[in-house]
């Protein structure tokens, strides 16, 4: 158990819909990262937040957005969903935020039908 | 932008054989991190190397960071079935924030 929690574990929805994925980092970790992993693919970095502010952005689509709240939990919002958005979405957290190892949550499996 | 390449993409070995995966970055890295993801699981941090030329060992696993801090390798001696999974390298560029993951090497071990 990494100490990072993600909800929900599974999500099935239809094209065009909007969903919110939630992540609670390890206690004390200020940095939160979001990744997308499609079937048998690598980890695509989406976005990083550090203590409530956006720190780095990867290949995140305009239909996707995220935020980190004052209590440090984070949410990833995916809208106008397409079939190709079906994937595992991982959240990770780290302390100090810059170069430290990341601790991954169990992931949310999103299926878009 | 920064790219991190890993080879091979897949590796099938007989239990007891050695295994090596290589990681190459297009830019100098501040550090290199290695993660393992078991099938159906999430990535788990293995180790971080920071210094040029650094070598670290964890039981049967040996990690190296290149002198130019642009490449790294993970070597497993005498693989076991518990070693199966995908091994990812990752690193932020020097002076940068974004940690980029390689595509991973998926290891299959046949008993």
Q: What is the 3-state secondary structure (H, E, C) of B40-96?
A: CCCCEEEEEECCCCCEEEECCEEEEECCCCCEEEEEECCCCHHHCEEEEEEECECCC
B30 touching chain A per CB within 8 A: yes
Chain B: residue nearest A56 by CA?
A: B98
Residues lower than pLDDT 70 in chain B? none
Number of residue pairs across A and B with CB atoms under 8 Å? 54
Cβ distance of B43 and A43 shorter than 8 Å: yes
Tell me, what's the pLDDT at B80?
A: 97
Of B101, B104, B106, the CB nearest to A45: B101
Task: Examine the pLDDT at A96 and tell me if it is beyond 70.
Answer: no
Cβ distance of A41 and B103 shorter than 8 Å: yes
Task: Examine the pLDDT at A108 and tell me if it is beyond 60.
Answer: yes
Query: Hey, what long-range contacts does B23-27 have (CB within 8 A, 24 or more apart)?
Result: B23/B71, B23/B72, B23/B73, B23/B74, B23/B89, B23/B102, B24/B70, B24/B71, B25/B70, B25/B71, B25/B91, B25/B93, B25/B100, B26/B2, B26/B70, B27/B2, B27/B70, B27/B93, B27/B94
A2 touching chain B per CB within 8 A: yes
Cβ distance of B43 and A104 shorter than 8 Å: yes
Band (pLDDT 50/70/90 cuts) for residue A105 is very high
Averaged pLDDT for residues A32-52:
90
Of A55, A56, A90, the CB nearest to B42: A90
Chain A residues close to B97, C-beta within 8 Å:
48, 55-56, 98
Chain A residues close to B101, C-beta within 8 Å:
35, 42-43, 45
Averaged pLDDT for residues A103-107:
96
Band (pLDDT 50/70/90 cuts) for residue A98 is low
Tell me, what's the pLDDT at B75?
A: 98
A91 touching chain B per CB within 8 A: no
B27 touching chain A per CB within 8 A: no
Residue A15, min C-alpha distance to chain B (Å): 25
The more confident residue out of A12 and A100 is A12
């Amino acid at each position: 158990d990494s100490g990072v929690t993600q909800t929900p574990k599974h999500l099935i929805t239809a094209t065009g819909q909007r969903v919110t994925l939630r992540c609670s980092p390890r206690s004390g970790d200020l940095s939160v990262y979001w990744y997308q992993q499609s079937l048998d693919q690598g980890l695509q970095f989406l976005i990083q937040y550090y203590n409530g502010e956006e720190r780095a952005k990867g290949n995140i689509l305009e239909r996707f957005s995220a935020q980190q709240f004052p209590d440090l939990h984070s949410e990833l919002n995916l809208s106008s969903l397409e079939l190709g958005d079906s994937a595992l979405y991982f959240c990770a957290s780290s302390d100090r935020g810059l170069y430290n190892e990341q601790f991954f949550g169990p992931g949310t499996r999103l299926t878009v039908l | 932008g920064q790219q991190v390449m890993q080879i091979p993409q897949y590796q099938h070995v007989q239990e007891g054989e050695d295994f090596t995966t290589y990681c190459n970055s297009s830019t100098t890295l501040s550090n290199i991190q290695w993660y393992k993801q078991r099938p159906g699981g999430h990535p788990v941090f293995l180790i971080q190397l920071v210094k040029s030329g650094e070598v670290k060992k964890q039981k049967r696993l040996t990690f190296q960071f290149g002198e130019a801090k642009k490449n790294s390798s993970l070597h497993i001696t005498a693989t076991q079935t518990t070693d199966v999974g995908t091994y990812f390298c990752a690193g932020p560029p020097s002076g940068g924030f974004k940690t980029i993951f390689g595509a991973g090497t998926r290891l299959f071990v046949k008993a």
